[in-house]
Amino acid sequence: MKGRNLKERGITLIALVITIIVLLILAGVTISIVLHTGIIDNSQKAVDQYAYEQQREQDLMANLTNYLNNYTHRVPIYTADQLKAIGSGSTIKIDEEKIECEFTKSANYVLMADIDLNPDKWKDDGKGNITFTDTSAEQWTPIGTLDEPFKGTFNGNGHTISGIYIDKTDGDYQGLFGVIEDSTIENLTVSGSITGNGSLGGIAGNIWGKSTMNNCHNLCNISGVISIGGITAGIKNNGNVIINNCSNKGNLTSTGDWPNLGGIVGTTNGEKNKEVTITNCYNAGKITGEGPAVGGILGEEIDAENNFLIENCYNTGYIKGTSYTGGIIGWAQYNFTVKSCHNEGNIEATYDSGGIIGFIQERNDKENKILIEKCYNIGNINGTDRVAGMVGTITYYCTIRECYNEGNIEGTENVGGIAGDNYGYNLIELCYNSGNITAKTGGAAGITAINNGNNKEEGTVRNSYNIGEIKGQTRAGGIVGWRGQGTIENCYNRGKVTRTDTTELGSGIIDDADGNGRTTNCYYLAGTASSGIMEIDDKQGQAEARTENQMKLPEFVQTLNKGETNWKADTEGINSGYPILSWQESNT
C-alpha cells in the first residue's frame, strides 16, 4: 500500500510540474526563464527521489522476508535442557521468545547463549587440562546415532558448549554429536572430557554424506582406542565433505594398536569421484598414539578413491606415534593434494615419520595422483628408520614441489631433509633443506636418504639444494644417500657432509650408487665433501666441486638453469649469496 501511494504521489507531482510549465509558456514566459528558475531540475530531482524511495522499500521488504524465513524455520537454543532435547521430536515452548518449536533431528538450530552442561563440577587448569571434580557430573548423550543420524543444521552463533562429560570406555560414536549426515555444523566451540572406545570426536563422532563443518573448535581432551579426531573421528564421504576454519587445542590420546588419530580428523574413507576438503585448520593440542597412523591434521586416509585436499593447515602440537606419523597426515594413499601446509611441532616416532606426511602407501596406478606443494617443516623430528622433514616414505606417482625443511631431523637410518625413502615414479623438485640431518648408522642426506625405482626414469630429484649439515656412518650424501635407479639433476650442496664411522667427509651429491641411475649437472661446495659420488672421482657433467666464488657468480645460476628459469641469483641475502630457487622470497 505504501509503495502504491509513493508511486501515485510521484506521478501526480510530475503531472503538476508539466502542467505548470505549459501554463507559464502560454503566459509568455520563455523556456530560458523556466530553466533558470530551476523548475526542470527540481522536477528531475523529484523523479530521482521517487525511484530511490521505491528501490529502498523493495530492499527493505526483501531483507524482512529473508529474516522472517530464517526466524520462523530456526529453533533457538538457550538452555541445557533445550540442547538435550534436540532430536527428541518433542514440541517445546521457548519461553525466551514465546514460541513453540519441534525438536527433530532435521531442524535448523541456533545456539543463543553459552551453555555449561555441568556448572561448578569441572575445572580447567589453564594448560589445557580439564578435570571433573564432582562425581555427580552428568554424562552427555550425543545427538544423532548410527541408526538415526542428525540431519539438520546447528549454528553455534559464536557460543561455547562447555562441561561436556563422556566416560564410556566401551562407547563408540561419541562427541557433542554422535553421527551427522548431510548436515552443517558451524560457529561453535566445545570443551570438556570425552573417554570412549572408538569414533570419538569433539564436535562429531562421524560425518556422513554431503556435510560441512565450518568455524568449529575443540577444547575437549579425548582419549580412547581407535579412530579419534579433535573435530571428528571419521569421514565416510558418500557425498562431498568440507571442513573449514576449524581447530583443536584438546589433548588427544589413543591406546589402540592402530589409532587412526588426528588433530582435526581421525580417518577418512570415501567413494570414487567424491571430494573431501580440509582447509584453514590447525592443531595445537598434544597428540599421543601407541600405534601407527597419527597426524596433526589427519590420522589416516584409507581406501579413498575420492579427491582429497588439505590446504592452508598447520600443526604446532607435539605428536608421538610408533610409525606412519606426520605433522599433517600420518598415513595416506590415494588421489590427494596437500598444499600450503606446515608443521612447527616436534614429532617422535619409530618408522616412517615426516614433518608433513609419515607414509604414502604404494599404489602402482598411473591414475593415482599425489601432490605435496608449497609446504614446510620447522619442527624437530626424531625416529628410527625413514625419517624426514617432508615425507618418511614415498611410493609411486607422487610429486613434492616447492617445499623446504628447516627442522633438525634425527634417526637411526635413512634420514632425509625432504624424504627418507623415495621409491617409484616420484618427483622431488624445487625443494631445499637447511636443517641438520643425522643418522646414527647409515643413510643421511639433504634431500632423500634413498632414491630408487625400477629404471632411471623412476625416482627423480631435480632443481633442489641442501645447506644443512649431514652426518651418517655410511651413505652420507649432500643430496642423496643411496641412489639405485632414478635421476638426480641440476642440484647443489654446500652443507658439510661427514661420515661418522671414519670422521672423514662424505659425498657432496651421492654417497652410494648402484643400478642404472643417472646423475647430471650437480655440484657441491669444495671442502664440504670428499667427492661428488663416493668412490668415483668428480666427473664433468655429473657431480663436480665448485668454490664459493664460483657458486656465487651469475654464470653458476645459468649453469643450473640449463635454459630454464628454476633458479635465480640471491640478491636479497636469503642464502648468503648462493643461488636460490625462483619461488623463494625474503621474509623481511
Q: DSSP characters for 465-513?
A: EE-S-EEEEEEEESSEEEESSSEEES-EE-S-EEETTTTEE-EEEEEEE
Specify the amino acid at residue 374.
K
pLDDT of 485 reads: 80
Q: Tell me the pTM.
A: 0.85
Q: Give the highest mean pLDDT range of 227-231, 396-400, 451-455.
A: 227-231
By CB atoms closer than 10 A (0-12, 13-18, 19+), residue 160 is: middle
Q: For residue 64, is pLDDT > 60?
A: no
Mean predicted lDDT score pLDDT of the chain: 87
pLDDT at 518: 85
For residues 258 and 339, which has the higher predicted lDDT (pLDDT)?
Answer: 339
Q: What is the pLDDT of residues 97-130, one digit of tens each?
A: 888 899 999 999 999 999 999 998 898 888 778 8
Give the pLDDT score at 1. 46
Q: Average pLDDT, stretch 354-376? A: 84
Q: Of 319, 163, 321, 156, which Cα lies nearest the Cα of 255?
A: 321
| Residues 6 or more apart whose Cβ sits within 8 Å of residue 479 | 445, 446, 447, 448, 461, 464, 465, 466, 488, 491, 493, 508, 509, 510, 522
Q: What is the pLDDT of residue 297?
A: 98
Average pLDDT over residues 53-74: 57
- For residues 363, 365, 371 and 372, what is the CA-based torsion angle, rounded to 10 degrees? 20
Mean pLDDT for 400-408 is 98
Q: Identify which has the larger pLDDT, 254 or 532.
A: 254
Taking the CA atoms of 522, 527, 528 and 534 in sequence, report the sign of the dihedral they define. Answer: positive
pLDDT digits (tens, 9 = 90+) for 511-523: 887 767 789 999 9
Q: Which of 11-20, 244-253, 255-264, 455-464 has the lowest mean pLDDT?
A: 11-20
Among 216-220, 258-262, 338-342, 502-506, the minimum mean pLDDT is found in 502-506
How far apart CA 230 and CA 224 sit, in angstroms, is 12
3-state secondary structure labels for all residues of 346-365: CEECCEEEECCEEEECCCCC
Confidence of residue 308 (pLDDT cuts 50, 70, 90): confident
Answer whether residue 37 shows pLDDT above 80.
no
Would you state the cell numbers that stand for residue 586, as one nine-digit string? 625474503
The answer on pLDDT for 57 being more than 70 is: no
pLDDT reading at 14 higher than 60: no
- Report the DSSP beta bridge partners of residue 385: 351, 413
Query: What is the reported pLDDT for 366?
Result: 62
